[in-house]
Amino acid sequence: MAAEGGWRPAGGRRRRRRRGGREEEEEGGAVLRRLREARNDLLSSGFWAASAGAVRAPLGATAEPPARCVCYGLGRFSCCPAARHQLAFLLLLLEELGVPPGRCSVFDPAFSPQEAAALVELGLRLLPDNEEGKHGIEGSATLFYMVHCGKALYNNLLWRNWSPGALSKMVIVGNSFKGIEERLLSRILERDYSYIAKVLKGTEEVALPAHPQYLDTFNDTSIHWFPLQKLKELSPEVWDCVEEPTYQECEIIRKGERAEQHGPAAAES
């Protein structure tokens, strides 16, 4: 059970430096204080306790618990309270699963230098490049934390790991696949997000509990996993097509693009 108090910088100390004639805390210090407050909010509200129960059930059903984590799309957590609570939830989740921060890789092209420094202080790894979600698990059971990410990121991730063996070692915390299916016309889902469409029958999904304090922060968020037996029951033709996805219109930030090119909404969760 997580206790209130919060995380300390990995280095165990804070340093000060002068900038513009005024003494300021090292980059990320103020962000870390607000992050600890977000952690305490999650704990005191009861939302984390209810969510941890929802997380344990599906993770207990997987053959191999996640040993590492990849996080996409946190957004500007220094200035966006929703993104800050999503990051605090991720850190609590890592504690719950026993995954060291150093085995969690994080990327969002919108991160500021101060936010990147804060993540490093927390012991997390920064991915150097925009993978567009195309991260291979390379045989390691992996948790993907992708709250409120664009559909193309989920589709790309599935494509990169498109085999029963790889998918069965993945857990995805992110937008409900059932919700995506309900909101999109079937022809658009199958044309633009074919890997989401094809994996639906091989997916187990549990929604995070609703909480009035976090309706916008975690709305439509579910835990997804892919039992090997269910994947083996899919038609063999499902696994034949492994063409890399392409998109005419894409809501994600592509490699080489800056967050500003997608406007403020793309930069935040």
3-class DSSP assignment, residue 238: helix
Q: What is the pLDDT of residue 269?
A: 37
**Band of residue 4 on the pLDDT scale cut at 50, 70, 90:** low
**Band of residue 30 on the pLDDT scale cut at 50, 70, 90:** confident
**Average pLDDT of the residues in 46-54:** 90
**In angstroms, rounded to a whole number, what is the distance separating the alpha carbons of residues 58 and 67?**
15
Contact residues for 254 (Cβ-Cβ < 8 A; gap 6+): 130, 132
The phi and psi torsions of 243 (rounded to 5 degrees) equal -70, 135
**Band of residue 54 on the pLDDT scale cut at 50, 70, 90:** confident
**Band of residue 123 on the pLDDT scale cut at 50, 70, 90:** very high
pTM across the whole model: 0.88
**Band of residue 15 on the pLDDT scale cut at 50, 70, 90:** very low
CA distances from 252 to 19, 20, 148, 152 (A): 35, 37, 11, 7
CA distances from 78 to 1, 122, 217, 261 (A): 26, 14, 15, 20
User: Which tokens sit at 8?
Assistant: 């300390």
Q: What is the pLDDT of residue 241?
A: 85
**pLDDT tens digits along 110-120:** 999 999 999 99
- Tell me the Ramachandran region of residue 162: left when phi exceeds 0, alpha when psi lies from -120 to 50, beta otherwise: beta
Does the pLDDT value for residue 76 go beyond 90? yes
**Average pLDDT of the residues in 86-94:** 97
Q: What is the pLDDT of residue 251?
A: 74
Does the pLDDT value for residue 188 go beyond 80? yes
DSSP H helices, 99-175, are 113-121, 151-160, 164-167
Quick one: what percent of the chain has pLDDT higher than 70?
82
**Band of residue 55 on the pLDDT scale cut at 50, 70, 90:** confident
Q: What is the pLDDT of residue 268?
A: 38
Does the pLDDT value for residue 179 go beyond 90? yes
**Band of residue 27 on the pLDDT scale cut at 50, 70, 90:** low
**Average pLDDT of the residues in 233-251:** 89
∠ Cα 108 15 7 (to 5°): 55
